[in-house]
Amino acid sequence: MTVLVASIVAAASMPISVWAQATDATLPTASTTPLPVTQTSIKPPRVDDSDAPTNVEAEQMAGRPDRLINLDNDVELRRGQTDVKSNKATYRIIENEVEAHGCVRMNRYGDKYTGDDLRLNMDSGQGFLTNPTYHFLSNDGHGSADHIDFVDEDKASVIKGTYTTCPGTKPDWYIKSSKLDIDSGLGEGVAHNGILYFKSVPILGAPSMSFLLSSERQSGILPPIVGSTNNGGLEFNLPYYFNIAPNRDLTLYPNIITQRGLQLGADARYLGAGYSGETKTEFLPHDMLTKTDRYALQSIHTQTLAPGLTMGWNVNFASDNNYPDDFSRSITQSSTRLLNREFDLNYSGSFWSVAALASRYQVLQDFNSSGLPTISQPYDRLPQITLTAGKPDIYGFDWTVNAQYARFWNSQYDFPTATGISQASSTLMPLGGERIYINPQLSYPIIRPGYFITPKIQLDATSYNITPNKLGVPNAPTAPGTSVLANDFSRVLPTLSLDAGLTFERDTNFWGNPLTQTLEPRLFYVRTPYRDQTQYPLFDSGVADFNFAQIFTENRHTGHDRISDANQLTVALVSRFIQESGLERLRLGIGQRLYFTQPRVALGPTDTITTSRSDLLLSAGGQVTQSLSLDDTIQYSQSNNQWVRASSTIKWQPGPKKVINFSYQLDHTNTDPLDPENRYLKQFDLSAQWPLSRRWYGVGRVSYSSQEKTVGQSLLGLEYKADCWVFRVVGQRTPTSSTRTTTGIFLQLELNGLSSLGSNPLQALRSSVPGYQNINQPDSFISR
């Protein structure tokens, strides 16, 4: 283990001038970066003891009480938060200075020192200590030296000394330097001509390196980040951190990618009264592989302009489609190919609110194995203004009004015929248009113990003004022989609904635990008349996900371009097993929608309903035991005698840093229309974190598609936990497009109380393994 870690770090590191706080430190309104597990002591607050008396104790005293006192045997001098003990001492009263000899032990504001000979001025804090050892209360840092020079109450210089946070006299890692400057006021130490030893092997040297004695952020060069990917080769990143102000910071990170060149990046964060934001940018001039400039930008900002008035933006940009493939660790995440750019302005009143939004998308296009694009360009909203108002319990009635104006535009549909990368515009997909709708709703909830009844009426009034294409000519109709609507048209549809349910309860036992079992039947009826909408555009509508939440809504489509006709009744039955604390141990549910009249409004052939009932929904889930939880949902087609969709998730977490997750996903509706084999989604996912021995931990994840017979997301790693350091090696494989994957290796040596060397895999571990816990933090396991 020693040879492995030392060899990797020695090969991957280079001398640096200073170490500063890691860039994942949060700004002060939250909590600063937590200290390692060794830093558990709380240093007492500094108290002004300049006027405090000096108390002297010893078995023998001699001298002049007004000038000098010689002390012998069990000597102790105390003044405020400074305490000195020794075998012998001389105390000069006028100078308020002590000279102590033999087994010197000093406690100075919680920091402990031992040595042979001490001279200390109790007023100024100046002095020296020979052959010392020291121990800092704030972070358990300690070491030894030839001698220590005390500059004042906060500052000291350790001459030819060592520093470590490892327990014991033979630490696994330590810094050895010609001079070590300690500033307890700033919470910082600086080692001059320092060499970092790991397992007695020198792995890093620098003329000056700093480290923190507290959680305060400091400016300086951060530890180097070293990694490797199959798309760029070896990467070496050396960030520099600027702690501009308590609420502002900036990180610059030059990143050398061996196969591509030098990438420059910056990350600026700010936080103030009523506003906050972060901007990241990356730039790689003249990529050696693509021969082009590569860059990306991400900026987020939120601000309160006045009481009730807020604004914000979220801007994302990348130079080309392959950016997330080639730079999978960049600010454009590998799975993100729709980059949003939006600005919003919101105002909230006592019972109403208005929101203005301008939104555009950049598509980082992905192509399948046949070279065909797989992502459609969403419509821009320039602008979108939404008004919402409502009040509950007005003489028993609840009322709400939703209204919106939106101007949609999509340059992908410029012309009625396909040209180059543009697609042909149509009545469903025009170049753009304006849409206005208002949706008032009125309900009368009757809620009593054991039952509820809610009748509701609403009206949808929608108007369109369509721009078919740049030529201004009508687009081709959706189906041959049908007439094309004019550019201006409207729709008015009422909807009636009735929601009613009962709740029965009884006391029962679940594996010996007293519980309350409920039985909750529920009926939901909806009536909406039919209106032909086949020629209406599809700016933002889609088929809603079929689940227990959706079957109790009036419209089976999302967005506002399709209002489904309905004459239907939803029937559901749910039973819950609930502890006295409110924890849901088990939840069982069954539900189905019955069609008295088959819906005629559809988005396409796959959305057409031809049966008198929907698929059957079944669900089971809950925190079954303290360590076992599950969540299962099945969509079953009774007419086809087939599982249409199924989702099963099981999580077993018997203790701290022990977790196994298993999930299964089946979806016959999730198919690629461009796939000649018409393969559907059938995927297994297994992830885990588990101790292999007292100090070794294994972590991993694998996702497998049985239809495509390929491995998707996968990760495998080992972690070693020592008393004062942690070593991690993690390999990760990430699909970044339909035909490409990125593999990367993370190597990290984390030295408690000092810093980390290598690339940090913690974000990848947390996102890949639900329930993952940092092995360098105290055990935490919430009893459920």
List pLDDT tens digits, range 271-318.
Answer: 999 999 999 999 999 999 999 999 999 999 999 999 999 999 999 999
Bigger pLDDT: 762 vs 217: 762
What's the whole-number mean pLDDT along residues 71-85? Answer: 90
Bigger pLDDT: 671 vs 771: 771
Using the predicted structure, report yes or no on whether residue 111 has a pLDDT greater than 50: yes
Using the predicted structure, report yes or no on whether residue 692 has a pLDDT greater than 90: yes
Burial class (CB within 10 angstroms; exposed 0-12, middle 13-18, buried 19+) of 553: middle
pLDDT value of position 491: 94
- pLDDT band at residue 420 under the 50/70/90 scheme: low
Phi first, then psi, for residue 684 (nearest 5°) are -115, 145
Bigger pLDDT: 390 vs 373: 390
Percent of the chain with pLDDT over 90: 55
Using the predicted structure, report yes or no on whether residue 5 has a pLDDT greater than 50: no
The CA-atom distances, in angstroms, between 98 and each of 48, 88, 95, 360, 669 are 20, 10, 9, 73, 84
Using the predicted structure, report yes or no on whether residue 373 has a pLDDT greater than 80: no
pLDDT value of position 328: 64
- pLDDT band at residue 234 under the 50/70/90 scheme: confident
Which pTM was predicted? 0.81
- pLDDT band at residue 357 under the 50/70/90 scheme: very high
- pLDDT band at residue 10 under the 50/70/90 scheme: very low
Bigger pLDDT: 369 vs 557: 557
656: cis peptide before it, omega within 30°? no
Q: Which of 17-26, 331-340, 428-437 has the lowest mean pLDDT?
A: 17-26
What does pLDDT average to over the chain?
86
Segment 161-183, tens digit of pLDDT:
999 999 888 899 999 999 999 98
What's the whole-number mean pLDDT along residues 766-778? Answer: 90
pLDDT value of position 422: 67
Using the predicted structure, report yes or no on whether residue 4 has a pLDDT greater than 90: no
- pLDDT band at residue 215 under the 50/70/90 scheme: low
* CA 131 – CA 146 distance, rounded (Å): 5
The CA-atom distances, in angstroms, between 134 and each of 182, 199, 492 are 11, 21, 81
Q: Which of 23-32, 351-360, 456-465, 507-516 has the lowest mean pLDDT?
A: 23-32
pLDDT value of position 707: 84
Q: Which of 71-75, 105-109, 119-123, 670-674 has the lowest mean pLDDT?
A: 670-674
Q: Which residues of 766-781 are buried (b: 16+ CB within 10 A; e: fewer)?
A: eebbebbbbbbeeeee
What's the whole-number mean pLDDT along residues 392-416? Answer: 92
Bigger pLDDT: 482 vs 333: 482
pLDDT value of position 11: 35
- pLDDT band at residue 481 under the 50/70/90 scheme: low
* CA 561 – CA 23 distance, rounded (Å): 45
* CA 752 – CA 739 distance, rounded (Å): 41
pLDDT value of position 9: 40
Percent of the chain with pLDDT over 70: 89
* CA 569 – CA 521 distance, rounded (Å): 13
Using the predicted structure, report yes or no on whether residue 668 has a pLDDT greater than 50: yes
* CA 91 – CA 61 distance, rounded (Å): 10
Q: Which of 78, 84, 80, 132 is nearest to 106 (CA)?
A: 84
pLDDT value of position 676: 64
Contacts 24+ apart (CB under 8 A), 370-373: 370/674, 372/674
Using the predicted structure, report yes or no on whether residue 334 has a pLDDT greater than 60: no
pLDDT value of position 780: 65
Give the 3-state secondary structure of residue 730.
strand
What's the whole-number mean pLDDT along residues 710-721? Answer: 91
pLDDT value of position 22: 42
What's the whole-number mean pLDDT along residues 685-698? Answer: 94
Segment 308-321, tens digit of pLDDT:
999 999 999 999 88
